[in-house]
Amino acid sequence: MKTCVCAILVCLLCLPASRAKSSAPAVQVYSRRPGDVKDNTLVCHVTGFYPPDIRIELTQNKREMPGAQQTDLAFEENWHYHLIKHVPFTPHKEDTYACNVTHMGRSSIYTWEPDM
Ligand SMILES: *[C@@H]1O[C@H](CO)[C@@H](O)[C@H](O)[C@H]1NC(C)=O
């Protein structure tokens, strides 16, 4: 009898873990219009991550850019999530623009290439 209760408890504990494994985000940084044009938008597209807890920063010379907007958290198949963060900007040649994604305690920096 005791063994039986234990088995059920163990099974209940495994359920949430088997539903989804952790997955690192795939990140793309791009501008809505090509190159160095005025009144552009910097976009950071983050997909395929789990768990959903994530922090995305758009930075100009390593400082967070004000006025960025983020889409609602949406999920794809397999319980993986995706998010888009974007901010209006007029790029300056001397400046470095990047997206800093922090997931499961690990930060990665993705730099924007203006002539893509
Ligand atoms: C990236 O974001 C994390 C979390 O907000 C922060 O601690 C870190 O300093 C940032 N790195 C850069 C280079 O902006």
Those residues whose C-beta lies under 8 Å from the C-beta of residue 25, and which sit 6 or more positions away, are 46, 47, 48, 49, 54, 101, 103
Q: Is the Cβ–Cβ distance between 98 and 112 less than 8 Å?
A: yes
Indicate the pLDDT class of residue 37, thresholds 50, 70 and 90. confident
Mean pLDDT on 25-39: 90
Nearest C-alpha neighbor of 69 from the set 95, 43, 46: 43
Cα of 14 from ligand 1 centre, angstroms: 34
At residue 19, the pLDDT reads 58
What is this structure's pTM? 0.81
Cα of 72 from ligand 1 centre, angstroms: 22
Cα of 57 from ligand 1 centre, angstroms: 8
Atom of ligand 1 nearest to the CA of 109: 13
At residue 61, the pLDDT reads 98
At residue 20, the pLDDT reads 63
Mean pLDDT on 1-25: 58
